[in-house]
Amino acid sequence: MDTEYVGDDLVKTLFTHDEIQAKVEELARRIEKDYEGEELLIVGVLRGAVMIMADLARALNRHVEMDWMAVSSYGSGTKSSGVVRILKDLDTDVTGKHVLVVDEIIDSGLTLTWLTSNLNSRGPASIEIVTLLRKPEAVSMPVDVKYVGWDIPDEFVVGYGLDFNEKYRNLRDISTLAPHIYS
């Protein structure tokens, strides 16, 4: 969906479709280099990471295995609580594999901290995280995020997989949501 269809719900476009594509290509080049000669499994965190998974996988000029996890982090409104439940687990055995968890945004980092420690207990060869966006609070999170597209201010954003109440995920651009929508 193009921004103009819901323009009144949005305040400002932070990243356009083209800027996002360029950033994903840049991340893909770094990942190709870092995992040269290694087998790589990329794990998308449903549902928000669908767009970046699809674009990142296509940007990677190498073989890559793709799998998905769905987790629910209990929380109210626009904040997550860190209490996580697995709704859909991997179909792949990650033992001995190089795992790269793909997410669209890290806010408190609670969801990914929990997820990476869960995956780590399964004996992967390595585990790293790539996220398109990172909010300020996550900069100090205990797990190291190897690949970050952009650091953004602490504002609620939608588009490119990011939703508010399951809407706006299909926007091409990433924009800040107008307060009158969520307050």
106 binds, among Mg ion, ligand IMP, none (CB under 5 to 8 A by kind): ligand IMP
Q: Which tokens in the block code for residue 114? A: 């929990």
131 binds, among ligand IMP, Mg ion, none (CB under 5 to 8 A by kind): none
Choose the catalytic residue: 107, 151, 154, 173. Answer: 107
Q: Is 107 in the site for ligand IMP (CB under 6 A)?
A: yes
**Is the CA virtual torsion 114, 92, 42, 49 positive or negative?**
negative
Candidate list 110, 115, 129, 132; residue touching ligand IMP; CB under 6 A? 110
For ligand IMP, give the closer residue by CB, 125 or 152: 152
Q: Is 129 in the site for ligand IMP (CB under 6 A)?
A: no
Q: Is 171 in the site for ligand IMP (CB under 6 A)?
A: no
Candidate list 80, 92, 118, 126; residue touching ligand IMP; CB under 6 A? 80
Candidate list 9, 103, 128, 173; residue touching ligand IMP; CB under 6 A? 103
For ligand IMP, give the closer residue by CB, 54 or 125: 54
Q: Which residues make beta-bridge pairs with 150? A: 133
Q: Is 106 in the site for ligand IMP (CB under 6 A)?
A: yes
What is the amino acid identity at position 68? Answer: W
Please give the Cα distance from 149 to 26 (Å, whole number).
Answer: 9
Active site residue 107: yes
Binding site for ligand IMP (CB under 6 A): 48, 73, 80, 103, 105-111, 156-158, 162
